[in-house]
Amino acid sequence: MNNERQLGSRGVLSIAILLAIVAYFSLSSPSKAAVLDLGAAGQFTLLALGGSIDDSGPAGPQANPYTVNGPVGVVTSGQKFQASGDVVYSGPVYLHSGVTYNSSAAGVPQPTTGPAVDSLLEQAYTDAFNASAAALQLGMNPTATYGTISTTTTITENAVGNYVFNIAAINFSGGSTLTLDAPAGSTYLLNISTGITLTGGSILVSGGLTAADVLINYTGTNAAQFSGGGNTSQVYATILAPYAEVGLHPGLVVGSVIADSITMSSGADVIPVPEVTPSWLIFGFLGLVVAVTSRQGLMRRVRAFARLDGARAS
């Protein structure tokens, strides 16, 4: 009887906690990169779809105090999350079953795992690839098309709108910049097909644009590489690179990185755009219960478990 009561109490507690997360999630802000709905993938600051995350540190100059601020996820079993040095992650760190956690960094939280996390990460994987395909579809009717951009360039739009640019590659060195300039309320989608190399170069925003308004959909397979001491290579955008590694050695991303794999070193930092929902709030839909049950239905279950628990006690 005591065992039954304990199981009943645990059931009530689990559902109550889940209900609280669902309620908070229903009030949370939309996914990052308003250009497209990234679904579950858009709620991560770092998300490795097919490979690993490896951050060898140290903490970079923009860490305040976090090297990576926001949720981190590794989707594919057999891969790893690895961190070392004095890097500091706000967390949570969500790992799929079968992903290895190997962190000697005291500032990185222990991972969160389990069936509900597996379901979330699998959904994020699907959403990321769907978003990349949708971005390519939008690129069928682009605002403008560019070849390889290798010198300082500004792309300016004077009216509020949703703009799509197809770019073969960005290859910067020596401090070259691509500045995206448009009024507030606009969005920029950059479909980049063959390469992103920033060896001392940046992708910046101006006018009314913020990092939340820019999505870089990189569909190439060559690694997107950042370098330059002191994080002189910077990108203000969400980077979606489902087929490639993104390597920050070092570099600063104000936004998020969703890629096949992610490597960081020499003081790289990733800082989410200001509107990002606090990390522990974003997983309100974990588990199948949330997918099929309203908040009112969950409350009914909580009350039912409580009545059952009381009946067993009597």
Q: For the segment 213-267, what is each residue's pLDDT rounded down to a tens digit?
A: 999 999 999 999 999 888 999 999 999 999 999 999 999 999 999 999 999 999 9
Sort residue 266 into left (φ over 0), alpha (ψ -120 to 50) or beta.
Answer: left
Tokens read off for 50: 């097919």
How far is it, in rounded angstroms, from Cα 105 to Cα 141?
A: 46
Cβ-Cβ contacts under 8 Å for 137 (sequence gap 6 or more):
none
Q: Is the pLDDT of residue 133 over 70?
A: yes
How high is the pLDDT of residue 229? 85
How far is it, in rounded angstroms, from Cα 105 to Cα 55?
A: 10
The domains of the chain are located at 2-23+287-313, 32-281
Sort residue 76 into left (φ over 0), alpha (ψ -120 to 50) or beta.
Answer: beta
Q: In 3-state terms, what secondary structure has residue 126?
A: helix
Share of the chain above pLDDT 70, in %: 76
**For residues 133-141, average pLDDT:** 97
How far is it, in rounded angstroms, from Cα 300 to Cα 306?
A: 10
Query: Global pTM?
Result: 0.80
Beta-bridge partners for 53:
81, 262
Cβ-Cβ contacts under 8 Å for 67 (sequence gap 6 or more):
55, 57, 59, 60, 87, 88, 89, 107, 264, 268, 269, 270
